[in-house]
């Protein structure tokens, strides 16, 4: 189940990703994500940030959460994922 987000919600999600997971503050990246999140069609969005190339935010099974590739997991990245997912839980 995918959820459609308002512009305000999509912006909040992106700012959580910027502040906690190192997502780009570039307007182009933010704009692309917000448009996609508002469409209700996105399942995953690669934002990379501090989670490496596999850093993604998911809109899947009624949840919004971040992950990285398992082979790129480190204690630091697992802490980032846990902290960020706690903040994203408000959208579940």
- Write down the pLDDT at residue 45: 96
Q: Are 88 and 66 within 8 A, CB to CB?
A: yes
Residue 2 covered by a domain = no
Residue 87 covered by a domain = yes
Residue 1 covered by a domain = no
- pLDDT under 70: residue ranges of the chain: none
Query: How many domains are contained in the chain?
Result: 1
pTM comes to: 0.94
Look up the domain containing 63 and give its range: 7-91
Residues 57 and 85: their CA atoms lie apart, in Å, by: 10
Q: Are 20 and 84 within 8 A, CB to CB?
A: yes
């Amino acid at each position: 189940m995918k959820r459609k987000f308002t512009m305000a919600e999509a912006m909040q999600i992106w700012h959580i990703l910027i502040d906690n997971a190192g997502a780009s503050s570039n307007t182009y990246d933010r704009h692309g994500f917000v448009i996609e999140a508002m469409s209700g069609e996105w399942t995953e969005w690669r934002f990379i940030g501090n989670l490496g190339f596999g850093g993604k935010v998911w809109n899947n099974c009624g949840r919004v959460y971040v992950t990285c590739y398992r082979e790129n997991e480190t204690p630091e990245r697992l802490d980032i994922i846990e902290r960020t997912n706690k903040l994203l839980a408000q959208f579940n």
